[in-house]
């Protein structure tokens, strides 16, 4: 459709041109040298301005920016590494501190256990000693009591014998009591 339109325009343009009326302007020849001349001048100016001044500046800016981004990313990665390292060091320190604390607690408990054992054994020994002393005393009291029993028996026997009107010597009484006690 457009081609048909163009063809018609061209045909009519030519027709009118021949008839002295306005020709189809893009096919007029009088302005072509001027069009070419100004195109060359203006395109040249635009090319020089862009290629010599503006584009280098733009590309410079873009390059600077990408450099900056790259260096910033590098720095971020480095800082991240440092942070990771620091964290690992911290974790190590925490673990060390924990194990040290555990050790200290263990030692303290052991020490207390030992002290308690010592105290217990000391107290046990003292009790033992007291018991022994008490046993000895009981034994001596028993001996003493037994002696008293003998004496009482002798005295009693003497008194009983005396009631029967018989006198006996002390040694005889003692011998008899001892025999009876055994």
Partner 1 sequence: MNLFMPSIALDPIHQFKVTKWLDFNVGGIDLSFTNASGFMALGVIMTIAFFGVAASKGQLVPSRLQSLAEIGYGFVADLVRGTAGEEGLKFFPFVFTLFFFVFFANMIGMVPYAFTTTSHIIVTSALALLVIAIVIGYGFYKNGFKFLKLFAPSGAPLPIYFILIPIEVISFFARPLTLSLRLFANMLAGHIMLKLFAGFVVSLIAAGGAYVIIAPFAFAMGVALNALELLVAGLQAYVFAILTCVYLNDALHPAH
d(CA 47, CA 67): 28
Contact track, partner 1, 7-36, x by CB under 8 A: -xx--xx--x----xx-xxxxx-xxxxxxx
d(CA 46, CA 52): 10
Query: Is residue 161 a contact partner of residue 167, using CB atoms and an 8 Å limit?
Result: yes
Options 7, 14, 37, 118; binder of partner 1; rule CB under 8 A: 37
Options 54, 101, 112, 146; binder of partner 1; rule CB under 8 A: 54
d(CA 115, CA 108): 10
Options 7, 14, 55, 139; binder of partner 1; rule CB under 8 A: 55
- Among 53-61, 84-92, 119-127, 165-173, which window interacts with partner 1 (CB under 8 A)? 53-61
Options 46, 70, 131, 143; binder of partner 1; rule CB under 8 A: 46
Binding status of residue 66 toward partner 1 by CB under 8 A: no
Q: Which is nearer to partner 1, 46 or 108 (CB)?
A: 46
Residue 89 token pair: 């060091």
Binding status of residue 70 toward partner 1 by CB under 8 A: no
Q: Which is nearer to partner 1, 9 or 127 (CB)?
A: 9
- Among 59-67, 90-98, 110-118, 150-158, which window interacts with partner 1 (CB under 8 A)? 59-67
Query: Is residue 10 a contact partner of residue 27, using CB atoms and an 8 Å limit?
Result: yes
Please, what's the b/e burial string for 49-58 (b: 16 or more CB within 10 A of its CB; e: otherwise)? eeeeeeeeee
Query: Is residue 27 a contact partner of residue 15, using CB atoms and an 8 Å limit?
Result: no
Query: Is residue 147 a contact partner of residue 178, using CB atoms and an 8 Å limit?
Result: no
Q: Which is nearer to partner 1, 21 or 100 (CB)?
A: 21
Please, what's the b/e burial string for 96-122 (b: 16 or more CB within 10 A of its CB; e: otherwise)? eeeeeeeeeeeeeeeeeeeeeeeeeee
Q: Which is nearer to partner 1, 47 or 142 (CB)?
A: 47
Contacts with partner 1 by CB under 8 A lie at: 2-3, 5-6, 8-9, 12-13, 16, 21-22, 24-28, 30-40, 42-43, 45-47, 49-51, 53-55, 57-62, 64-65, 68
């Amino acid at each position: 459709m457009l081609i048909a339109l163009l063809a018609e325009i061209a045909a009519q343009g030519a027709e009118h041109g021949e008839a002295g009326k306005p020709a189809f302007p893009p096919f007029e020849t009088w302005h072509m040298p001027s069009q070419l001349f100004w195109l060359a001048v203006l395109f040249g100016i635009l090319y020089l301005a862009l290629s010599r001044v503006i584009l280098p500046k733009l590309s410079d800016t873009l390059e600077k920016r990408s450099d900056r981004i790259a260096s910033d990313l590098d720095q971020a990665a480095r800082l991240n590494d440092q942070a990771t390292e620091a964290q690992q060091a911290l974790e190590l320190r925490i673990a060390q501190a924990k194990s040290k604390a555990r050790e200290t607690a263990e030692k303290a408990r052991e020490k207390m256990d030992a002290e308690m054992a010592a105290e217990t054994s000391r107290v046990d020994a003292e009790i033992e000693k007291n018991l022994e002393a008490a046993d000895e005393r009981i034994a001596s009291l028993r001996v003493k009591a037994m002696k008293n029993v003998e004496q009482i028996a002798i005295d009693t026997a003497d008194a009983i014998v005396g009631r029967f009107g018989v006198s006996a010597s002390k040694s005889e009484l003692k011998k008899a009591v001892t025999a009876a006690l055994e």
